[in-house]
Amino acid sequence: MAIAKPSADNSNPDKEVALYAETDRIHPRKVKGTFRTLKWWSMVLFLAFYHLAPFIRWDRGPGAPAQAILADIGGRRIYLFALEIWPQEIYYLTGLLFFAAVALFMMSAVAGRVWCGFMCFQTVYTDLFVAVERWIIGDRSARIHLDRKPWSADKFAKKTAVNLLWALIGASSGIGFTLFFGDAFQTLTEIFTGEAGGAIYGTIAVVGGCCYLLAGYGREQVCIYACPYSRFQSAMFDEHSLIISYEAWRGEPRAPARKGQSFEGRGHCIDCRFCIQVCPTGIDIREGNQLACIGCGLCIDACNGIMDRYGLPRGLISYDSTVNIAAHERGEKGSFKLIRPRTLVYTAILTLVGALMVVSLAKRTTLEVSILHERSPLYVQLGNGTLRNGYTYKVLNMIREDHSFTLGVDGIAGATVQVVGAEGEGLDVPGDSVGTFRVYVTAPESATKGKTTPLYFILTDKRDGHVLRSSALFAGPEAP
Ligand code: SF4
Ligand code: SF4
């Protein structure tokens, strides 16, 4: 695509410049150091959790799933260890997600893009896929060389091996995903014996395919162009947030150097470009903070290695705050400031949401009702002059024992209740299920207050006498 655009010097305003430029494939170079080690550990923990968590067992009694973390689509339930979330309680999940989002904001305000650099699945799988390439083809120069070479048997064999291993990793990520949605042991057996349903194989294909394409071919493009979080993440930073920065005051003027030479009157950057070669997004951090920097710290490892080799102090590229970098320039030490308005606000939100969730979980009942008033008609006038309203009355029995209840009404003098199909029998609700009943309430018109009269349903457990009182409205004609 090309478009007429004035050139910078205005000498040729009709010159066409391309708005689309093909990017070169980035082949990060191997590096050793603290951040690289942290990234390996982060990858191991992530993959261990992802692939082993579905196999953790949790005893919920007979007849209940024994998987600690399970999204039971068929049973319309989410299990998180002792917590069991019903569709009616989806607000717990909303609370958990909100808490996680604010925790992520807090993490960014304190430690910059630490999520992107170390914990995001895109980073983890890209790292793993690059490790596979390095293992089969070799380090950066070997991979660049192979890419530039014309197709040969050797190139074909290596590329095929890399892609097969990527596909295998992709498939394992797809399989790992499905294990969170059914009994892990049973699902795994069914997958490998060909007995799993089409939905499971379809999910493996979609998740595995995305993993293969995004980590194998999308890579840094996903972080730079597709990830919405990278776009607004900088809004959570302030001058005390830790970010990856090149200390230009110390590095410039840069110039190549020989070992043992004096650095008097020049900068410490020897312009070796090692920091660029190890960067998974291929940027030059010496040009300043950039959206493409995922905060992985590999350029720090690279540069520290160079500084060690030349007997110079480490930290030319540092993981520090803007305030501290300015302090270093003035010859001061700098310090880390954790308590500041931004972190206090995030802490307050986290505490509030956390407390609300703990309180609501502590007060969580195992019995709930939902009442839906029939709309058409709102009421019926019977032959004897009384009014009748219809309701759909649902009882959520959230424990695994069958329960039997009696239902009564209160609030309107002379009102009576009738459960359709269970006259005089009470309401029987099997364990771990929702009982749905059609209920009629009849009341003398003289006891009602026109269009709506408050009414209370009284549900009493026949076994222990536990009472649940729920409010509703009784509809009638407008008072004359
Ligand atoms: S690794 Fe360090 S010395 Fe080498 S170019 Fe980067 S900043 Fe300069
Ligand atoms: S500039 Fe450094 S921290 Fe940023 S992505 Fe590249 S290597 Fe990672």
Residue 400: pLDDT band with limits 50, 70, 90: confident
User: What confidence score (pLDDT) does residue 126 get?
Assistant: 97
**16 confidence band (pLDDT: 50, 70, 90):** low
Q: Give yes or no for residue 1 having a pLDDT over 50.
A: no
From the alpha carbon of 302, which atom of ligand 1 is closest?
1
Q: Report d(CA 231, CA 177) in Å as an integer.
A: 27
Nearest alpha carbon, ligand 2 atom 5: 293
Q: What pLDDT was estimated at residue 5?
A: 41
Q: Is the CB of 317 under 6 A from ligand 2?
A: no
Confidence of residue 7 (pLDDT cuts 50, 70, 90): very low
Pocket test for ligand 2, best of 120, 244, 245 (most atoms within 8 A of CB): 244
Indicate which atom in ligand 2 lies nearest the CA of residue 282: 6
Read off the pLDDT of residues 25-63 as tens digits, 9 standing for 90 and up. 899 999 999 999 999 999 999 999 999 999 999 998 877
Residues 315 and 247: their CA atoms lie apart, in Å, by 8
Average pLDDT score over residue span 320-326 = 93
Asked if pLDDT for residue 2 goes beyond 50, the answer is no
What mean pLDDT do residues 323-327 have? 93
- Residue 166 pLDDT greater than 90, yes or no: yes
392 φ/ψ angles, rounded to the nearest 5 degrees: -100, 120
The residue contributing the CA closest to ligand 1 atom 4 is 272
Mean pLDDT of 331-348: 92
Q: Which of 29, 32, 258, 270 to mutate to test the pocket of ligand 1 (most atoms within 8 A of CB)?
A: 270
Distance 293 CA to ligand 2 centre (A): 5
Report whether residue 243 contacts ligand 2, using a CB cutoff of 6 Å. no
Q: How far from the centroid of its chain's Cα atoms is residue 159's Cα?
A: 33
Most confident residue range from 70-84, 221-235, 270-284: 270-284
* Residue 315 CB-density burial (10 A; 0-12 exposed, 13-18 middle, 19+ buried): middle
The strand pair at 367-373 and 387-397 is best described as antiparallel
Res 361 pLDDT > 80: yes
Q: Is 270 in the pocket of ligand 2 (CB under 6 A)?
A: no
- Residue 206 CA to residue 197 CA, distance in Å, equals 15
Cα(278) to ligand 2 centroid in Å equals 8
If you average pLDDT over residues 399-415, what whole number do you get?
91
pLDDT at 21: 67
Q: Are 369 and 459 in contact (CB under 8 A)?
A: yes
Q: Average pLDDT of the chain? A: 91
Distance 452 CA to ligand 1 centre (A): 77
Task: Locate 190 and state its tokens.
Answer: 């069914």
In this prediction, residue 130 has a pLDDT band, given cuts at 50, 70 and 90, of: very high
- Asked whether the beta carbons of 457 and 405 are under 8 A apart, the reply is no
Binding site membership of 274 for ligand 1 (Cβ less than 6 Å): yes
434 Cβ closer than 6 Å to some ligand 1 atom:
no
* Beta strands 403-410; 427-429: pairing state: antiparallel
**pLDDT, tens digit, 9 for 90 and up, residues 231-258:** 888 788 899 999 999 999 999 999 999 9
Evaluate if residue 6 carries a pLDDT over 50.
no
Distance (angstroms) between ligand 1 centre and the Cα of 266 equals 14
Residue 439 has pLDDT above 90, yes or no: yes
Average pLDDT of 207-226?
95
Which ligand places an atom closest to the C-alpha of 29? 2
| Confidence bin at 228 (pLDDT 50/70/90) | confident
Ligand nearest to the CA of 285: 2
Burial label, 286 (beta-carbon count in 10 A; 0-12, 13-18, 19+): buried
293 lines ligand 2 (CB under 6 A): yes
Residue 9 is predicted with a pLDDT of 45
Task: Name the nearest CA neighbour of 110 among 347, 300, 328.
Answer: 347
Mutate to test the pocket of ligand 1, among 286, 309, 314 (most ligand atoms within 8 A of CB): 286
Whole-model pTM: value is: 0.83
Q: What is the mean pLDDT of residues 271-296?
A: 94
Whether residue 227 is predicted with pLDDT greater than 70 in this model: the reply is yes
4 or 419, which is more confident: 419
